[in-house]
């Protein structure tokens, strides 16, 4: 078995950040399997495209023949499973892709990985790991006074996206307990940082604020999320992969509970500072729109387990991370222009038309 890590969904937001970080800090070779949907962008990985330790393979995790061939050819010692449909709003408008990829794709991957793992030599089988990356949304919603989600919180998904991720989490757990597959699961809070597709809250608000466009905020803007800088998340994934206990789950959070309206106001002030103001504050662009169905009120993550057992904690505060993020989007207009295609603009117009 080679010193190879297979990353599914490696051209996406978290995946590309993870691969770039590992290529810099880890001697392992990286194989990136990505089907390149609208949110996958190989430009994110242009800096390493010609590195000998990096290989990109375009393909779907649900294509079992492709996955089988790739596993047998590259013989990875670990798999980081990030491939997923991930946007709640899209899951409400069209849940089919979420069930196909997040549930069916994860099942197909698990079946091929199980066969591959069983064929390894004893020591290689013992050392192999599959790390499944999931979300805090599987736990449902919290009231303002409720304790944060822990690794033992009961699942209560409230959107098709969250339900599809919950199903994939259960499949991963079942393959460990039924077949002995050495798995690890991480559940993370809301990520932000470079390369995030601008349908998500923070990049959407940065770009609209830059361009003087309305800033659509759901409901009353009081929904609370815990925000995690993506590079901190990538370090946590690597830490769990390296030292996590097989079969365990680890919550990964940023320790930054913020109301959505706070996030948008901070972005307005930061864009005013970095891009310059020509008139009133960009806060005047904030527009409240009809809330989405089943919108969870609050998420919060208890990440004491990963800190206690593995010594991980985030490096970035929200204040430092959001400044890095806003500056990146303002300084990378070419990247933004490439990803905000006509189909993206049409989707935004349709979704926020009300």
Instruction: Please list the active-site residues.
Output: 136-137, 161
Tell me which residue of 246, 195, 201, 192 sits closest to 223, measured CA to CA.
201
CB 116 within 8 A of CB 72: yes
Spatial separation of the C-alpha atoms in residues 268 and 281, rounded to whole Å: 7
Tell me which residue of 128, 70, 145 sits closest to 297, measured CA to CA.
145
Q: Which residues pair with 80 in a beta bridge?
A: 7, 131
Three-class SS state of 58: strand
For the chain, counts of helices (H) and of strands (E): 14, 12
Spatial separation of the C-alpha atoms in residues 123 and 36, rounded to whole Å: 35
- Run of H or E residues at 307: helix 304-310
Tell me which residue of 297, 340, 1, 24 sits closest to 196, measured CA to CA.
340
CB 8 within 8 A of CB 34: yes
């Amino acid at each position: 078995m080679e010193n190879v890590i297979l990353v599914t969904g490696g051209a996406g937001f978290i995946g590309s950040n993870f691969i770039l970080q590992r290529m810099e800090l880890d001697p392992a070779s990286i194989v990136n399997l990505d089907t390149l949907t609208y949110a996958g962008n190989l430009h994110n990985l242009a800096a390493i495209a010609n590195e000998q330790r990096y290989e990109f393979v375009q393909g779907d995790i649900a294509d079992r023949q492709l996955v089988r061939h790739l596993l047998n050819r590259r013989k990875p010692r670990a798999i980081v499973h990030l491939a997923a449909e991930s946007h709640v709003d899209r899951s409400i408008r069209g849940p089919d892709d979420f069930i196909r990829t997040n549930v069916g794709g994860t099942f197909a991957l698990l079946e091929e990985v199980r066969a591959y793992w069983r064929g390894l030599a004893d020591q290689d089988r013992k050392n192999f790991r599959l790390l499944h990356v999931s979300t805090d949304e599987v736990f449902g919603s919290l009231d303002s006074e409720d304790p944060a989600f822990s690794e033992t919180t009961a699942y209560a998904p409230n959107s098709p996206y969250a339900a599809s991720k919950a199903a994939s989490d259960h499949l991963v757990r079942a393959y460990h307990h039924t077949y002995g597959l050495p798995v690890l699961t991480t559940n993370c809070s809301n990520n932000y940082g470079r390369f995030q597709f601008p349908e998500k809250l923070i990049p959407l608000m940065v770009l609209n604020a830059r361009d003087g466009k309305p800033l659509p905020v759901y409901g009353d803007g009081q929904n609370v999320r815990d925000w995690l800088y993506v590079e901190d998340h990538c370090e946590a994934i690597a830490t769990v992969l390296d030292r996590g206990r097989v079969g365990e789950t680890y919550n990964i959070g940023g320790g930054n509970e913020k109301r959505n309206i706070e996030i948008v106001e901070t972005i307005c002030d930061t864009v005013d500072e970095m891009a310059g103001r020509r008139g009133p504050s960009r806060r005047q662009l904030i527009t409240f729109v009809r809330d989405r169905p089943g919108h969870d009120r609050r998420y919060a993550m208890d990440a004491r387990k990963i800190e206690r057992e593995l010594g991980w904690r985030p490096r970035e505060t929200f204040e430092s991370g959001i400044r890095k993020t806003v500056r990146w989007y303002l300084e990378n207009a070419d990247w933004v222009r490439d990803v905000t295609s006509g189909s993206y603009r049409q989707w935004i117009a349709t979704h926020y038309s009300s």
